[in-house]
Structure 1
Amino acid sequence: MNIDNTLQKLHIEELNAMQHDTIDAVLHSDRDVVVLAPTGSGKTLAYLLPIASRLDPKVDEVQAVVIVPGRELAMQSNDVFRRMGSGLRSECLYGGRPTMDEHRTIMRTRPQIVFCTPGRLNDHIDKLNFSLDNVKWLVIDEFDKCLRMGFRAEMQKAVESLPNVERRILLSATDAEEMPSFVRMGRTERVDYRIDEEQTPDRIGLYTVKSPEKDKLPILAKMLRGFGDEQTIVFMNYRDGVERVSRYLADEGFAVSSLHGALDQKQREEAVYRFANQSVRVLVGTDLAARGLDIPEINNVIHYNLPVGEDEYIHRVGRTGRWESTGKAFMIIGPEEHLPEYVKESTEEYNVPETSAAPLPPRMATLYIGKGKKDKISKGDILGFLCKICGLKGADIGRIDVYERYAYVAVDNSKVRSVVKKATGAKIKGLKTVVEQAF
C-alpha cells in the first residue's frame, strides 16, 4: 500500500508532525511504540497507515488486533481504515450483538485486521472464532483507559492470548500511571506531542459561564440560542442528567441527540450518526461522548457538569478544535461551584448574549433508503438518484453511508419533504425501494 496514494483518497494534503514521527517509528525501527498526543490530532490515521503497509494481503487471516475501550471508537477506527481503500479487509467486534453473528461475518470476509473491545475479543478467542497464529501486531488505543483497573483482567487475558505478537503500538492523549507487565513492552520508542503540559491546544478557546441559579438549564438554553447554527456537545456526569437536559432542550425547540451507557447499540449509533451528519445541532452525553467520536465539525463543548477529573476534562475538550480547526470549550459554574484545580490554563469569562430568537432548525435531515450493498447499491448510485430523480444539487447532499441492506443520507433539511415526495415510486438502478425520513 502506498501511503501517498492513500492520503489522496482521503483528501488529506499533508500529515502533521506527530503522524510523520509515528509512521517513521513504526516503519523504520523494530521497537514498540507509545504515542502521546492531544485528542483530535489524528492518532488513528498515524498508526493505521504504517500497519496497513505491513500487512500481507495474500494471507487470509487476522494479522493485527486493535483493542479499544468502547464500541464507538471501534466503529470509528474501522470506518477510517475502510475509507483508506487499502484493499485489506477489516471487521469491528464489540458487545451488544450476538457473537455468533460476528463469527459468521468473520468466516465470510476473512479480515486481516480487527478492531475490538476487550471483552468481545476474549469471547472470540475462547470460541476459537479466528486463528491467532498470524497476529503479529497489537494496538491498544486509549491505552490509559484500557489499562485501568476496570479493564485490567480482561486486558490481561486478551494480551496473554496473543503469543505471536512482534510489535505493539499504544496510543492516548494522556499517559498511564504504570505499564502493566503483562503488556510485555520491549524496547520502546515514545512519540510525545503533549505540549509543555498544556491540556488544550491554542486553537481552542476556554471560557467560564456563571449560572445565577443552581439549575443550569436556563443558562444552557440561552447559550445554545446564541450559538445559532453551530454544532455543540453538552457533557453530563450521569445518564439521568442526560435524559433530563435532553427533554428540556427538546421542549425548548432544539434538535437534540442523547448518548449514554444505558442506551442499546442501535440507539447509540443513531444518536452519534444524527449529530455527525448535522441532522441535530446538539448532542447531550456522558463521558462516553468524550472518546472515539471522529467528528471534525464540533464548534463548541459545554461542561454542564464539572468533569470529575483531569483526564475527563482533557478528553472532553479534545472533541472540539480537531484537525487544526478552532473551537470553544465552556464550563458552566453554579453559585456554589468553583473552577477545578486541574484546569491549568487561563480562562475567559463568557457573557451570554441576550436573544429571543427561536432555536435554528438543523441544517440537514437524514433519509432512510431501503436498499444497500446486498442490492449492489453504491454511494454514486444514491448521489445520482438524488440529483436526477429528486432534483437536488451536490451542495444539498451531505454524508452518505451504505450498509448491507439499507443506506442513510443527509440532505438539506428544507428540501427533505420534496425529496421524499419525488422518490415515491421511483427506482434506484431499476429497483423500487422505500425512501423516507429516518429517526
Structure 2
Amino acid sequence: MEKGTKDLEKQFLSNLEIEGFNEMQLAFIEAVEKHPNVMLLAPTGSGKTLAFLFPLFKLLDPTSRSTQALVIVPSRELAIQIEQVFKSLKTGFRVSTCYGGHSMKLEKNSLGEFPDVVIGTPGRLSDHVNQGSLETATIQLVVLDEFDKSLQLGFHDQLRDIFRKLTGGQKHFLTSATQMGRLPEFIPFDNPPVVDFLFQNNESRLELKLVSTSSKEKVQGLMRLISQFQGEAGIVFCNHREAVERISLLLNDHGYNHAVLHGGMEQLDREKNLIKFRSGVVHLLIATDLASRGLDIPEIKHIIHYQLPPKQDAFTHRNGRTARMHASGQGYLVLANDEVFPDYLDERDFEEAEVGSIVPSEPSEFALLYLSAGKKDKISKGDIAGFLIKVGGLQAAAIGLITLMDFASYVAVECNDVTALIKRLNGEKLKKNKVKVAEAN
C-alpha cells in the first residue's frame, strides 16, 4: 500500500475510532483498485457503508470545486445515516443530502455550491436532475447502495432518469444484501466483478424461538413476551402499518414506552423515533420492514416477527438487525394456531419459548431533549454538551447520544427532574442564539 494511502487509511480509521477494516471491507477496497465497476454482496450489518466510503474518499480531489461523487440510496433514513458517517470522517470535503420531506429550496441552494459528494434517494435526485439543479457532468463515481432495495421499491424509472444525465464514464460501486440477477438496462456495463460475502463467515449466534398462541390471544402473547425484555433492546416487525399502530396503542395502555416506524409517518416523526431508539430513551421499536435494512440501529438483542413476511429474504433481513458481527441474539416467531408455518422455515430450527405473565415496564433512565438550533446554526455536539454542563448543571456522564439536524438538535439526558432542567435551559444562549428547549414527544 502506498504511503499516501496508508496515511489516508490511518486518518479514516482514527476518525471512526475503529482499529481496522474487516475482511469484507478489505476485499472490496482491493477489488475497486483493479476494476472501475464492482458489485458488493454482503448481509445487513456487515459494514458495507465503510467499505465504499474509503475508496470514495480516496477518489475525491481536494482542489476541485465541483460535484465528484453521487451516492444513491433507497430510503431517507439511509441517506441521513451515510451523511452522518461521512461528516464524522472530518475530511473537509463537502456533502449535500437530498430526499423527500426535506426542503427542496435548501437542497437547491446546497447543490448550487457544488458539494463534493451528493447523497440522495432516487425520486428526489431525479427531480433535481430533471430541473437542472444537480450538475452531473463532473461526477466521477456513482454508488448504488442497497441497489436491490431501490429496484424492489419501484425506483426503476427515477434511476433511469438519473443515468440518462450521466456520461457513462464514471466508476460504479453497487452494494446489495441479496443476490442479484441481470442488471437493469440503464446500467452502462454488464457482469461486474462481484465481491460476495453473503454466505461467508456466517457465525451469527441467533437463537430462533416460537411463541404459540391462539388467534384471539396473539397480541396478549406478544405483550407477555415483550415484558420479559426489561431494559434490553428489541424490534417488533409487522407487515402493515395498521398492525404497528394497533400494537402501539396496546403498549400505551400497559405503560410501555416505545417508538414506532412505518412509511405513513411524517419524516420528522420517523427521524425522532429512530433517535429515541438509538439513544436508549426507548428500548422497543414497533416497525414495518422499513427498519429491516440499511439503518444504523445499535445492536438489538431481540427480534420479534409478529407478522411473518411472505419471502425468506425479508425474514433474513429482519434478523440481520440482531446477532450482528458474531454477537448473539434471539429471533421470535409469534404464531397463532390458525396461521400456517411458512414453507421457507423449518419448524425444527425453533424451540418453544417460555413466556410468563405481563409485568410492569421499568421506566427509562433517559429523556430526549429538543433544542431549537442545529448544524445550519454552526452548532456542534461539543457546544451542546458544554451548554448542558455549564447552564444545565449536568455531569458529562449524564449526557447521552447527541443528534444534530439542520435547524434542531436532540440529546438524550439522564436526569431525575427533566422539568427543572428544561426550565434552566429554555431561553438561554447556546453560542449566540437563544434556544428553545423542550422534551421531545
Task: Calculate the TM-score normalised by the size of structure 2.
Answer: 0.92
Q: For 1:334-413, list aligned pairs within 5 A.
A: 334-343=336-345, 347-412=349-414
Q: For 1:8-407, list aligned pairs within 5 A.
A: 8-26=14-32, 28-108=33-113, 110-148=114-152, 150-186=154-190, 188-195=192-199, 201-343=203-345, 347-407=349-409
Cα gap change, 1:345 to 1:379, in 2 (>3 Å): farther
| Alignment-derived partner of residue 13 in structure 2 | 7
How far is the alpha carbon of 1:48 from its aligned partner?
0.6
For 2:259, the aligned partner's letter is S
How far is the alpha carbon of 1:224 from its aligned partner?
1.2
How far is the alpha carbon of 1:400 from its aligned partner?
0.9
- Aligned with 1:125: secondary structure? helix
Q: Which moved more, 1:215-224 or 1:142-151?
A: 142-151
Does the CA contact (< 8 Å) of 1:226 and 1:352 recur in 2? Answer: no
How far is the alpha carbon of 1:33 from its aligned partner?
0.9
Distance 1:52 1:371 in 2: 29
Distance 1:430 1:95 in 2: 31
- Aligned with 1:150: secondary structure? coil
Post-superposition CA distance 1:356-383 (Å, at most 9, x none): 5311122321111223344443211221
Does the CA contact (< 8 Å) of 1:137 and 1:166 recur in 2? Answer: yes
Cα gap change, 1:148 to 1:389, in 2 (>3 Å): closer
- Aligned with 2:193: secondary structure? strand
Does the CA contact (< 8 Å) of 1:135 and 1:164 recur in 2? Answer: no
How far is the alpha carbon of 1:192 from its aligned partner?
0.7
Q: Considering only aligned residues, what root-mean-square deviation do their CA atoms show, in Å?
A: 2.2
- Aligned with 1:368: secondary structure? strand
Distance 1:53 1:416 in 2: 45
Post-superposition CA distance 1:215-264 (Å, at most 9, x none): 42111111111010011111111111111111111111111212111112
How far is the alpha carbon of 1:201 from its aligned partner?
4.6
How far is the alpha carbon of 1:159 from its aligned partner?
2.0
Distance 1:235 1:76 in 2: 21
For 1:17, the aligned partner's letter is E
Distance 2:103 2:379 in 1: 26
- Aligned with 1:227: secondary structure? coil
Does the CA contact (< 8 Å) of 2:204 and 2:324 recur in 1? Answer: no
Does the CA contact (< 8 Å) of 2:215 and 2:338 recur in 1? Answer: no
Distance 2:103 2:54 in 1: 31
Question: Quick one: percent identity of the two aligned structures?
Answer: 39
Does the CA contact (< 8 Å) of 1:137 and 1:167 recur in 2? Answer: yes
- Aligned with 1:181: secondary structure? coil
Distance 1:119 1:426 in 2: 40
For 1:193, the aligned partner's letter is F
For 1:189, the aligned partner's letter is P
How far is the alpha carbon of 1:408 from its aligned partner?
1.1
Distance 1:291 1:51 in 2: 22
Q: Which runs of 5+ in 2 are unaligned?
A: 1-6
Post-superposition CA distance 1:134-171 (Å, at most 9, x none): 11211111111223482222222222321144211111
Q: Which runs of 5+ in 1 are unaligned?
A: none
Does the CA contact (< 8 Å) of 1:31 and 1:189 recur in 2? Answer: no
Post-superposition CA distance 1:297-327 (Å, at most 9, x none): 3221111001121121121111123344332
Task: Calculate the TM-score normalised by the size of structure 1.
Answer: 0.92
Distance 1:344 1:183 in 2: 38
